[in-house]
Chain A
Amino acid sequence: AVSHSQITRLYSRFTSLDKGENGTLSREDFQRIPELAINPLGDRIINAFFSEGEDQVNFRGFMRTLAHFRPIEDNEKSKDQNGPEPLNSRSNKLHFAFRLYDLDKDDKISRDELLQVLRMMVGVNISDEQLGSIADRTIQEADQDGDSAISFAEFVKVLEKVDVEQKMSIRFLH
């Protein structure tokens, strides 16, 4: 579980971002972080904090999203097989990344959605044709059921060798 001091620290962070001092964060509050504003996927990441149709997130929602990035401790792996899957499981971490691609939330990454994310990541440096062929190749390699889109299961299969637990985890110093 997240320790008491870690929660206090994150709450302190939450309040320092909350310039309007109303207990919730808006998208502008996130965009004020310079290092996030220069991240090519900054807007998509910010979106992950907000539920459908909402434009304010409270501390509970903030923590919920950040919880995906807790490291997976060894002793947690064997605990509680019957309970709900913890937010920081490998599967949920992959789901978080999947949702960054899958804009319309239909559980499939279409060619268009992939192109959109690619365009965000490369800016103006690559032509439409090149980007299109990159997208086509990626879908071709991942697609197994022939629907020209990447489902979550296909996504997981492509990334089965990647050390997701480590790459999508953030460790506290204390």
Chain B
Amino acid sequence: MFLLLPFDSLVVNLLGISLTVLFTLLLVFIIVPAVFGVSFGIRKVYMKTLLKIFQWATLRIERGAKEKNHPLYKPYVNGIIAKEPTSLEEEIKELRRSGSGRALDAPEFELSDIFYFCRKGIETIMDDEVTKRFSAEELESWNLLSRTNYNFQYISLRLTVLWGLGMLIRYCFLLPLRIALAFTGISLLVTGTTVVGYLPNGRCKEFLSKHVHLMCYRICVRALTAIITYHDRENRPRNGGICVANHTSPIDVIILASDGYYAMVGQIHGGLMGVIQRAMVKACPHVWFERSEVRDRHLVAKRLTEHVQDKSKLPILIFPEGTCINNTSVMMFKKGSFEIGATVYPVAIKYDPQFGDAFWNSSKYGMVTYLLRMMTSWAIVCSVWYLPPMTRQPEEDAVQFANRVKSAIARQGGLVDLLWDGGLKREKVKDTFKEEQQKLYSKMIVGNHEDRSRS
């Protein structure tokens, strides 16, 4: 029958011991500090080491390229072509000025007008401001992930070995560790909030609920190896306010909620997400909507208003862009949250894509693939700035207020401030914009109100 080799039991013993050691280490170095909100500083050291390695890798690639006498592909985030910031009117006037020597004040049509639209059109085909916001940012130096390398042919043997080693560490050590942590964090969240939900309403329940949430978000932060730097924490959102931030990924929620207490807003999902949402709302009032209710703008506004008017409830966390953008720009803020009349606490979140790009390209990757990519990156490094609170001034409407908040966030985070709607990721642009252009041009050929008919 079986021949129980003498070292089988040895192997089993070793396995048992190493697993115990691993879990003890996990508990001591990661979970316990997460519960109490302290840090050993391991992640910062890790980050510094990685930076040094990346710099070395980039130098090696540059050297390899020089040896072969090829130019290196370097991505340029500021666009690849020169664009004039002049308006339609100025450009067409200039066209006409160079064409005929005639008086320019009279509105008329010239055959050369077409050059303006033609060149503008071709410029946008070569490089436009909107579509590049919906795909991951390109990096200037290589970070040892094959997903970001554009210069494969210049990798030397040493670099390949390093990359292989990196891949081994990421997939065989970091990934299982992170999955274990994530699992712990989520199950603690679900069980913790359910248990707290059974308590009678009161100060004790609120206190416990806040801390259960906080603890679990902190564990999740470590599950992603997120290294976050918070700035200006004195401006953190208070009860009765709305916290708005730019949106890059679902991880934004974890990042903000691990440093403050928030009430979440969103649509109820099915599956695991739904289980988590339903458990969370037992412990403290989050604002979840059914899918059918999401479309009803008045209902949404009413519920949000009720929430902010109750000063005992936590500040709401909202992402007014409505969709994930790649963290190089801030796109149009939907005005719904700015009409409610509560104090707005803007927050700017800027990720450093060198250690792992946090942008969720939802048309390319599903949620599970995305989370796996996050957990096999080196780390998620970001900075969070809490901006001073803003309220709507009497002379501005909701849209202007939203734009003001957006500009403040863009300025602080070093992001491009765009007026385009993030919804353009999936939908076509509205015809009204084209009609605006047509109207502007019509003025140039017939003037404002005169009827010019010459034969």
**Could you list which residues of chain A lie within 8 angstroms of chain B, going by C-beta atoms?**
4-6, 8-10, 13, 16-17, 30-42, 45, 66, 69, 96-97, 100-101, 117-118, 121-126, 129-130, 133-134, 136-138, 142, 150, 155, 158-159, 161-164, 167-174
Instruction: List chain B residues, Cβ under 8 A from A41.
Output: 114, 117-118, 121
Given the complex of chains A and B, what is the CA–CA distance between A19 and B111 in angstroms?
Answer: 36
- Can you show 14 pairs from A to B with CB atoms below 8 A apart? A35-B129, A38-B429, A41-B117, A66-B125, A66-B126, A97-B114, A117-B114, A126-B445, A134-B445, A158-B111, A159-B112, A161-B99, A168-B118, A170-B123
B83-122 with Cβ < 8 A to chain A: 95, 98-101, 108-109, 111-122
Cross-chain contact A4 with B128 (CB below 8 angstroms): no
Given contacts A130-B453, A155-B111, are A167 and B73 in contact (CB under 8 A)?
no
Cross-chain contact B131 with A32 (CB below 8 angstroms): yes
Cross-chain contact B420 with A34 (CB below 8 angstroms): yes
Instruction: List chain B residues, Cβ under 8 A from A5.
Output: 71, 73
Cross-chain contact A8 with B126 (CB below 8 angstroms): no
CB distance from B148 to the nearest CB of A (A): 14
The one of B95, B116, B121, B424 that contacts A42, using a Cβ cutoff of 8 Å = B121
Given contacts A97-B114, A134-B445, are A36 and B81 in contact (CB under 8 A)?
no
Nearest first, the 7 closest Cβ-Cβ pairs linking A and B are A123-B438, A125-B442, A45-B121, A35-B124, A162-B99, A38-B433, A34-B429
B395-444 with Cβ < 8 A to chain A: 420, 424, 428-429, 433-439, 441-442
**Could you list which residues of chain B lie within 8 angstroms of chain A, going by C-beta atoms?**
70-71, 73, 76, 78-82, 95, 98-101, 108-109, 111-132, 135, 420, 424, 428-429, 433-439, 441-442, 445-446, 451-455
Knowing that A39-B437, A69-B122, A136-B455 touch, tell me 6 more A-B residue pairs with CB under 8 angstroms.
A96-B118, A121-B117, A138-B109, A162-B98, A163-B98, A169-B119
Cross-chain contact A4 with B71 (CB below 8 angstroms): yes
Given the complex of chains A and B, what is the CA–CA distance between A66 and B132 in angstroms?
Answer: 19
Instruction: List chain B residues, Cβ under 8 A from A173.
Output: 76, 78-82
